[in-house]
Amino acid sequence: MDTAVIQALARWPNVPDCYDWLMLDRRGRWRLRHPQDAMRFEPIQHAELRDYIARNYSVDASGAWYFQNGPQKVFVRLAYTPWVLRFEGGALVNQCGEIATPQTAWLDEEGSLLLLTQRGVGLLDDRDLATFADDLAQGFFKLEALTLVLGPVLKADVPSRFGFVLSPGAPT
């Protein structure tokens, strides 16, 4: 977490949380809700803002993911999983730019590939499925020379199985 964020938390400890404004899509893009249309989320174009979100992305005890924006928690609506993985420069990385080391893999009924990494479960960006499948077909996962056991999982069971909240809501 950024030093400025930690200092802001100390100065303003009781800032209300924010819900339904930030989303992580299935390709690892951060999206903000459109101010005139609550159902529409637009990709964040500003690279420094995306990096700031990534550096301050965390999870609470209930499994709700959020971005600590100064003293305020901005809870994230997840399109699928809290992590989205992609191949970048010969490495598998998550949307925050951290190298991810897969341990186990699952395919859901829609053909989406989920990978359990050191940071938790992540969805492989669909644009990288062919690369991953080619590596598995050769019996070799090129990033870590790691063979993954594929197991089935139902999409509806993923949040409870891996302990996260898809769409955190304000407490009532």
Q: With the C-alpha atoms ordered 158, 18, 94, 88, is the resulting torsion angle positive or negative?
A: positive
Residue 3, pLDDT score: 78
Q: Spell out the domain ranges in the chain.
A: 3-78, 83-162
Question: Is the confidence at residue 136, as pLDDT, over 70?
Answer: no
- Classify each residue of 95-128 as buried b or exposed e, where b means 16 or more C-beta atoms within 10 Å of its C-beta: bbeeebebeebbebeeebbbbbbebbbbbbbeee
Average pLDDT over residues 108-136: 88
pLDDT reported for residue 2:
72
pLDDT in tens, 30-49: 999 998 887 899 999 999 99
SS3 113: strand
* CATH placement of domain 3-78: 3.10.540
- Check pLDDT > 50 for residue 71: yes
pLDDT at 91: 81
